Structure 1
Amino acid sequence: MDKYFAQLGQQIVRIGNKINARTRGWLGMLASATNEALKPDTAITAAAIAYFALFSLFPITLLSISIASYILGPAVDRQIIIQRLEFIAPAMGQLLGQNIDEIIEARGPVAGVALLGLIWSASTVFYTFTHTLNQIWGAKQRRAVWKRRGLAILFVLTFVGPILFLASFAGSMFAHLRTLLPDSIISMTGGVSLVLAVLLDVIMFMALYMLLPHGVSTWREILPGAIGAGLLWELAKKAFLSFVSTYLSISNLIYGSVATIIAFLAWAYLSGLIFLFGAYLSVAYFQLKQSPKETAAKIRQ
Structure 2
Amino acid sequence: MKITKQMLVRFFGERFYDQAAQTAYYLLLSAIPFIIFMLSLISFFPIDQQAILDFARPYAPGESFDLIEENVNAVLSAGKGQVLSLSLVSTFWLSSMAVQSLGRSLNDANGIERDLPFWKGLLRDFGVTLIFMIMVPLSLVIPLLEKVLRWIVAQSDTIEHWSGWLDIWPAAQWGIGSLFLLLFFIAFYKILPNERQTVRFVLPGAIFAALGWQVVSWLFGTYASAFSYTRLYGQLSGIIVLVLWFYLTAVVILLGGLLNAEKARKEERTH
Identify the TM-score tier after normalising by the shorter chain: 0.7 to 0.9
The residue type equivalent to 1:120 in the other structure is: W
Counterparts in 2 of 1:167 and 1:90: CA distance versus 1, 3 Å: farther
Structure 1 counterpart of 2:96, from 123, 143, 164: 123
Q: In the aligned structure 1, how far is the partner of 2:52 from the partner of 2:86?
A: 19
Contact 1:225 1:278 (8 Å CA) reproduced: yes
Residue deviations 1:189-211, cap 9 Å, x none? 44333222222111111111111
Match of 1:191 among 165, 171, 186: 171
The aligned counterpart of 1:243 is 223
| CA–CA separation in structure 2 for the residues paired with 1:87 and 1:191 | 13
Following superposition, the deviation at residue 57 of structure 1 comes to 0.3
Deviations 1:189-238 (A, max 9, x none): 44333222222111111111111111243110111111111110111222
C-alpha distance in 2, partners of 1:152/1:87? 30
Greater relative contact order, per chain length (Cα 8 Å cut-off, separation 6+): 2
Q: Does 1:281 align with 2:259?
A: yes
Q: Residue 52 of structure 2: which of 81, 90, 104 is its match? A: 81
Larger radius of gyration: 1
Aligned pairs, number: 261
Query: Cα 1:72–1:239, aligned 2, differ >3 Å: closer, same or farther?
Result: same
Q: 1:284 to 1:265 in 2, by over 3 A?
A: same
Aligned residue number for residue 202 of structure 2: 222
Cα distance in 2 between the residues matched to 1:223 and 1:265 = 28
CA distance in structure 2 between the partners assigned to 1:263 and 1:32 by the alignment: 30
Instruction: Give me the whole-angstrom Cα distance separating, in 1, the residues matched to 2:216 and 2:101.
Output: 22
| Corresponding residue number in structure 2 for 1:13 | none
Structure 1 counterpart of 2:130, which letter? L
Query: 1:47-58 counterparts in 2 under 5 A?
Result: 47-58=21-32
Shift of 1:154: 1.6
Residues 115-135 of structure 1: per-residue CA shift (max 9 Å, x gap): 221111100010111111111
Q: Secondary structure at the match of 2:197?
A: coil
Where do residues 94-173 of structure 1 align in structure 2 (5 Å cutoff)? 94-107=66-79, 108-140=81-113, 142-164=115-137, 166-173=138-145
Off by >6 Å, runs of 4+ in structure 1:
none
- Among the aligned pairs, what percent are the same residue? 23
Runs of 5+ unmatched residues, structure 2 = 154-160
CA distance 1:111–1:257, change in 2 (3 Å):
farther
**Aligned counterparts of 2:170 and 2:109: Cα–Cα separation in 1:** 36
| Counterpart residue identity of residue 153, structure 1 | F
Give the equivalent residue in structure 1 for 2:158.
none
Q: Secondary structure at the match of 2:112?
A: coil
Residues 155 and 140 of structure 1, relative CA distance in 2, 3 Å threshold: closer
Structure 1: distance between partners of 2:42 and 2:170: 28
* Of 232, 236, 240, the match for 1:262: 240
Unmatched segments (≥5 aa) in structure 1? 1-26, 295-301
The 2-side partners of 1:66 and 1:183 are apart by 32
Tell me which of 12, 34, 43 is aligned to 2:17.
Answer: 43
- CA distance in 1 between counterparts of 2:191 and 2:53 reads 28
Aligned partners of 1:130 and 1:148 also within 8 Å: no
| Inter-partner Cα distance in structure 2 for 1:201 and 1:60 | 18
Q: What's the TM-score once normalised by structure 1's chain length?
A: 0.76
- Structure 2 CA distance, aligned partners of 1:140 and 1:101? 43
Taking structure 2 as the reference length, what is the TM-score of the superposition?
Answer: 0.84
Aligned with 2:213 (options 233, 251, 274) = 233
Q: Does 1:60 align with 2:34?
A: yes
Q: Judge conservation of contact 1:201–1:234 (CA < 8 Å) in 2.
A: no
Q: What per-residue deviation string (whole Å, max 9, x for no partner) do you get for residues 133-189 of structure 1?
A: 11111114532222222222222222223222x211023214544665645555444
Q: Which residue does the alignment assign to 2:156?
A: none
Q: 1:88 to 1:127 in 2, by over 3 A?
A: farther
> Shift of residue 60 of structure 1?
0.4
2:20 & 2:164 partners in 1: Cα distance? 44
Q: 1:141 to 1:167 in 2, by over 3 A?
A: closer
**How well do the aligned residues superpose, as a CA RMSD in angstroms?**
2.8
